[in-house]
Structure 1
Amino acid sequence: MELQLKNIGMIKEANIKLDGLTVIAGENDTGKSTVGKFLYFTLCHDLKTKKDIDTLFESIFKTNIAKYNTPPSSVENNNKDFKLQPIFIETPLVWNFTDFFRDIALVESQMNIEIDYPYLMKDLNFKLFIKNASNGVDIKEKMTSLMDGKFEKDEKGSYFFNRNGKRIELVNTATGIKYFGIFQVLSQNNYLNKNTVLVLDEPEVHLHPKWQLEMAKIIVELVKNGVKVLVNSHSPYMIEALQRYSELAEINSDFYLAEDGYIKKENNSNSETLAKIFEKLSEPFDVFEEMDSQKMKKLING
C-alpha cells in the first residue's frame, strides 16, 4: 500500500510505502502528523455522503476540504480483498474522558443528534468499549506483565487500573501506563488484526526511554502478526529501537525523514535515511558538546 500527498499544509510532497512497519522521523512541525491523519481519513469506509466526508475532514484538520482544488491525497491498496480499518492514537489521555464520551454517545442516541467533538478520540473511545467480531493479535498478557496490572471495567462500565487487586482510578494512573492500556484493551476487543492500520503519533512523548524500547518491541510484534503500523517520531531512542527490533524480527520496514516540506527516503535506502535521521536528531547533543568545549577552554585559560 502506498500513500501520496502533495501540497497539504506544510507538506510539499510525500510518497510513503505502508507494508509492515513505516516510521516517519523528524523535528516538530515537519508534517509527520499530517501524514497519519490523511491516511486515517482516506481509509474511513463508513463515509456515505459528502457531508460525512466534509465533517470528518474538518474535525481532523480544522479546515474545509473545499479549499483544495485537486484530491489532496491518494492511497493505493494492492490487497483489495481486505477492508483496511484505521486506528489513530494521538494521546493516551483519551482515558480521562471515557465517561464523558459514553455520556455523549447516550445523548446522541436518545435525541437522534450528532454532537461535534474530536472524531479521532471519539473513534478510539468507541473501540475501547465495543468488542470487534473478528479475531485479533493477542498481546494482552504481555501488556499486563509490562504494566504490572491491567485495565478492567466495573459494574457501571467504567474503566480502572487493577494492580494486585487494588483499584486505581485512571486519573491517578501514570500516562505511560495509559498508553500501554490502550494496546491491552484494543487487543482484547480484537481491533488489532491483519486488516488494521495503526497510526501512532509520537508515542514516545509519554514514555521513559526504557519504556520506549518496550513499546518498540510491542509494535514489531504487531507487525509480525500482520498489523500495518505507521509511527511518527522525533525520539532517537524509539527510532533506533524500531530499527533494531524490526531487523531482528525480519519484518518489512521503511524509514522516512520529514524535512523542509518533503517526506522521503534517501536513495530508497533505510540505512542512508537512518544515518540522516540520527544526524538531524542529534543536533541538540552537538550543542551540549560545544558547551562542554567552551567550559573546558575556560578552565584551561583560567
Structure 2
Amino acid sequence: MRLSLSDINKIGKAEIKINGLTVIAGTNDSGKSTVGKMLFSIIKALTNSKDSSKSIDDTINTKVKALYRNLIAFDRLYHTSIKKDIFGRTLSPNIAKLIKSQDKEVFEILGRISAAMEEAEIKPLHKAVVNNLISELLDLMRESGTHEGMLKRELQAILKAEFMNSVCTYDTDRSTIVFSDESGNKELSVHLSDNNITEVKGGDGCFFDDVTLIESPLYLHIIDVLSSARTFNEDEREVFASLRPLVNYHIKDFAKKLESFKYSIVNSQIHNDDIENINSITGGCFSFDEDSKNILWIKDNKKFQVVNVASGIKSFGVMQMLKGIDSINERKILIWDEPENHLHPEWQIKLAALLVEQASKGIPILVTSHSPYFIQAIRYFSNKMKMEKFVNYYMADEQENGTCIMNDYTEDLNKIFFKLAQPMNSIINIGL
C-alpha cells in the first residue's frame, strides 16, 4: 500500500509505503504523527463506509433523531408547538423512511418545519441548528446510494473528529490525499480546500478491516472516561451541550477496544504464543477481575490497580490486550506514535523486537519515533528475522516555509541516526 500526502497539516509532501513495517523518524513537531493520524482516518472511513447502505441508514437516523429532539426542546423552551403541529403525538417521525426511499413527501415535511421555524420567535442560533440539519438531510437524500458521496461524508466527519477541523496546511489552496495499492489499480484520491473535502474519487476497494492508533499506553487507566467521551463532530447539533470530555477520534476508538477486553472470551480462555511472549517480558499480565469488575495487573498471583502499574508495563499491556481481542492481525493495521516513550532503553529494544516479530507474521505496522535506540533495534531485529526488505524508513526534513518533506532513508539510515543523535553529540564531550 502507498499513502501520498500533499499540504496536509505540517506535511508539505509525503509518499509512504506500507509494506510490512514502516518507521517515520523525526524531531518533535515535524509532522510524524500527522502521517499516522491520516492513515488511521482513511482506513476508518473506508471500513465504516464498506456497507454504504447501512452507513447511510445510520447517518439518516442520527440526523432525524437530532432534528426531532431539537424540535421538542425548542417547543419547551419557547412555548411553541412545532413538533406537535407537524408530527402529531407520535413518538418518532417516519421521515427517516421517507428519506431512504427518496419519497417526495419529505420535501413537504422539511419545508413545513423550515417555515414554522422562520415564523416562530426563536433565537437565530437555534433556527440555524434546525436549518442546518434539514440541509444535511436533503444532502443525504441526494447522496443515498452513491458510494463516493457516502465516503466523502464519512471521511469529512472523521477528519473533523481526528484533526479538530484543522487538516490543511496554512495558506494553501489545495491539499491532496492518495491511498492506493502498489499497482495503483485500486486508488482513493481526495482533494481538500479550507479543511473541507471538495472531491473524492475511487475508494471502492477496502484495503484493511480495521486500524488501531496507540498514542499513549497511559490511557489504559482512564479507559472508562475516554470510551464515554465525545469526539469533535458528536452532539454538535444538540441544544444543550454535553459535559463529556472532548477527545480525538483515535483516542475514543482505542479506549473502546481496551474496554471491550473486559468482555472478551479470548481474555479468559485463550493464551497464544504472542501473548505469552509479551507477558514473559513484564512478568505478569492484565486481566479482567470479576470481583472488582475492573482490569487489573496480575503478577505472582497478586493483583494491582492499573493506575499503580509502571508506564513501561502498560506499553506491553496494551499489546497484550489488543492481541487478546484480535484487534491486531494481518487485516487490521497497527499504528503506534512514539512507542519508545516511557521505556528504558532495554525495554525499547524488547518492544522493537516484538513489533518486528509481529510484522514478520504479516501484521502491517507503522510507528513514529525520535529514539535512535529504538530505530537501531528495529534495524537489528529486521536483519535478524530476515525482514529488512519489508521495512521502510522515512524522516521528516524541515523546509524554509515551516512544512516538512517525508524523505525515504531506507538505503541511508545513518542520516536518521546522525540527526536524532546530534543533540547528545553536542554535549557529550563537556568536561573532557
* TM-score above 0.5, yes or no: yes
Match of 1:147 among 278, 282, 286: 282
**CA-CA distance at 1:97 after TM superposition:** 1.1
Distance in 2, Cα, partners of 1:55 & 1:254: 31
Q: Is the 8 A contact 2:214 2:337 kept in 1?
A: yes
What code does the residue aligned with 1:149 have? G
Q: How many residues align?
A: 284
Task: In structure 2, give the amino acid aligned to 1:61.
Answer: F
Matched residue of 1:190: which SS? coil
Measure the CA separation in 1 of the matches of 2:272 and 2:406.
Answer: 30
Q: Where does structure 1 differ by over 6 angstroms across 4 or more consecutive aligned residues?
A: 131-137
Q: 1:288 to 1:66 in 2, by over 3 A?
A: closer
Alpha-carbon deviation of 1:276?
0.3
* Mapped partners of 1:85, 1:140: distance in 2: 20
How far does residue 207 in structure 1 lie from its aligned partner after superposition? Answer: 0.6
Superposition deviation, residue 93 in structure 1:
1.4
| TM-aligned CA distance change 1:133 to 1:19, over 3 Å | farther
Query: What amino acid sits opposite 1:263 in the alignment?
Result: M
Structure 1 residue matching 2:378: 3-state secondary structure: helix
Match of 1:121 among 251, 258, 274: 251
Gaps of 5+ in 2: 50-54, 56-149, 187-204, 235-240, 399-403
Q: Paired residue for 2:411, among 271, 279, 282?
A: 271
Structure 1 length-normalised TM: 0.84
How far off its partner does 1:222 sit?
Answer: 0.7
Q: Which deviates further from its counterpart, 230-239 or 67-76?
A: 67-76
1:83 aligns with 2:208: yes
Which residue of 2 is the match for residue 262 of structure 1? 405
Among 378, 390, 411, the residue aligned to 1:242: 378
Query: SS of 1:5's equivalent?
Result: strand
Q: Which has the higher contact order (CA 8 A, sep 6+)?
A: 1
Deviation (angstroms), 1:70: 4.3
State the TM-score, normalizing by the size of structure 2.
0.60
Q: Measure, in 2, the Cα distance between the counterparts of 1:118 and 1:136.
A: 32
Match of 2:237 in 1: none
Out of 350, 353, 364, which is 1:217 matched to?
A: 353
State the alpha-carbon separation in 2 of the partners of residues 179 and 168 from structure 1.
Answer: 16
Write the distance in 1 (CA, Å) between the matches of 2:265 and 2:330. 14
Deviation at 1:83, TM superposition (A): 3.0
Deviations 1:143-165 (A, max 9, x none): 11111110011225421101111
Deviations 1:69-120 (A, max 9, x none): 6453121135857534211000011112122245669xx9xxxx99653321
Given that 2:6 and 2:175 are in contact with CA atoms closer than 8 Å, whether structure 1 keeps it comes out as: no
Residue 229 in 1 paired to residue 368 in 2? no
CA distance in 1, matches of 2:17, 2:295: 36
Describe the shift of the 1:168–1:250 C-alpha distance in structure 2 as closer, same or farther (beyond 3 A): same
Q: Is the 8 A contact 2:164 2:248 kept in 1?
A: no
Contact 1:136 1:191 in 2 (8 A): no
Is the partner of 1:126 in helix, strand or coil? helix
Match of 2:162 in 1: 60
SS of the residue 1:263 aligns to: strand
Distance 1:93 1:13 in 2: 31
CA gap 1:42/1:104 in 2 versus in 1, 3 angstroms: closer
RMSD, aligned CA = 2.9
Residue in 2 aligned with 1:38?
A: 38
Between 236-245 and 89-98, report the one with greater CA deviation: 89-98
Query: Is 1:130 aligned with 2:260?
Result: yes
Looking at structure 2, the residues matched to 256 and 64 of structure 1 have their Cα atoms a distance apart, in angstroms, of 24
Whose Rg is larger? 2
- TM-aligned CA distance change 1:66 to 1:210, over 3 Å: closer
Letter paired with 2:176: P
CA distance in 1, matches of 2:228, 2:14: 39
Given that 1:6 and 1:73 are in contact with CA atoms closer than 8 Å, whether structure 2 keeps it comes out as: yes
Query: For residues 205 and 40 of structure 1, what CA distance do their matches in structure 2 show?
Result: 20
Percent of aligned positions with the same letter in both sequences?
33
Could you tell me whether the CA contact under 8 Å between 2:208 and 2:333 is conserved in 1? no
Post-superposition offset of 1:57 = 1.4
* CA displacement at 1:188 relative to structure 2: 1.2
